[in-house]
């Protein structure tokens, strides 16, 4: 079995946790835009740097591929969809690595 496989699986699990955290912060941003709540606003402020960086990168990619300007809500939705697809792909790869 060696040392490489457990380390690769552990790093894959860490990446999944980071993707899950980013998805949760994006969902908090969506809820904070829709509802006014002090707890949602606090979590939105805490996660703002991560959410803004992810949505900025997705917005740039969408504008480059579409050739037109994309709104903030569209970039936020695109970020959620793309991260959900990344999560599904990562889980599939991890299950393939773990399965004999």
pLDDT band, residue 1 (cuts 50/70/90): low
What is the phi-psi region of residue 2: left when phi exceeds 0, alpha when psi lies from -120 to 50, beta otherwise? Answer: left
Report the pLDDT value the prediction gives residue 23, as an integer from 0 to 100: 95
Q: Where are the alpha helices (DSSP H) in 35-71?
A: 38-66
Report the pLDDT value the prediction gives residue 51, as an integer from 0 to 100: 95
pTM: 0.86
Q: Considering the chain, what is the average pLDDT of its residues?
A: 91
Report the pLDDT value the prediction gives residue 9, as an integer from 0 to 100: 85
The DSSP symbol for 69 reads -
Where do the structural domains in the chain lie, given as residue ranges?
4-98
């Amino acid at each position: 079995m060696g040392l490489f496989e457990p380390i690769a699986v552990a790093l894959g699990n860490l990446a999944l946790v980071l993707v899950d955290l980013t998805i949760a912060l994006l969902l908090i941003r969506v809820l904070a835009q829709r509802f006014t709540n002090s707890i949602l606003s606090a979590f939105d402020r805490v996660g703002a740097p991560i959410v803004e960086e992810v949505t900025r990168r997705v917005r740039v990619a969408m504008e480059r591929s579409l050739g037109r300007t994309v709104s903030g809500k569209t970039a936020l939705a695109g970020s959620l969809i793309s991260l959900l697809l990344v999560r599904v792909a990562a889980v599939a790869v991890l299950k393939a690595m773990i399965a004999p």
